[in-house]
Amino acid sequence: MEVYRFQEFAYLAIPVALGLEFFLNAKDERQGKEDVPLGSYVLDFLGFVFAALIPAIFVFTIFAVESKMFASQTIALARLDRYAVLFLFMGGGWWQIYMFTALRARRMLKDKKSMWYLWTPFIAAGIFISLLVLWVSPWNLKWISSGWFLLIFGILAGTKARMKTVERTMWSLAGFTFFVEILIFIWLDSIV
């Protein structure tokens, strides 16, 4: 197996953390209610998708491509590998971090925890994904991306934004980033 493939396993930290945050939100949704709300089932399902299914697809495609396990399906596996790795991990790290922070802000509406409980994982995950994905990028993009996360933190923490505002801002950023990422991948696929 190529050495860079082992580095790709580090990408799994973000979706697994997002999946765990979905599970924690589902648990909070059920807490204190006799009937289990439908939303908690949806949150549990999304937790399963991000914490188990996406990493399983990721690991399967890496080992299938590297071991040439399915020789007649190499093109399909290569595409799955390319889009799973690029879309869900390399590019997906940003919108997944925004989703993680939105879900954590949602949980903090009920819990009166320190603001650092929200911002420390946001800043750490943002800098982690910026340096991991953009380490060899041109135009110092790794520092621009890291600065972007610090700027978002500075604006929202500096203005003492309410948790509801933080949650809405993060959901908006997640949706916008997801949409832009789709457009970039369509454009990249057309020129490659």
User: What average pLDDT score do residues 82-102 get?
Assistant: 81
User: What average pLDDT score do residues 127-156 get?
Assistant: 92
Does the global pTM surpass 0.85?
Answer: yes
25, 55, 90: which is the final residue of a domain?
Answer: 90
Judge if 40 and 111 occupy the same domain. no
Calculate the average pLDDT of the chain: 88
Higher pLDDT, 32 or 150: 150
Judge if 2 and 24 occupy the same domain. yes
Q: Which of 57-66, 99-108, 158-167 has the lowest mean pLDDT?
A: 57-66
* 82-78-8-175 Cα dihedral, nearest 10 degrees: 20
Residue 14 domain boundaries: 1-90
User: What average pLDDT score do residues 95-103 get?
Assistant: 95
Total structural domains in the chain? 2
Band of pLDDT at residue 43, cut at 50, 70 and 90: very high
pLDDT of residue 68: 82
Judge if 83 and 102 occupy the same domain. no
pLDDT of residue 27: 93
Judge if 115 and 165 occupy the same domain. yes
Judge if 56 and 128 occupy the same domain. no
pLDDT of residue 5: 74
Residue type (1 letter), 172: S
Band of pLDDT at residue 18, cut at 50, 70 and 90: very high
Q: How far apart are CA 85 and CA 78, in angstroms?
A: 10
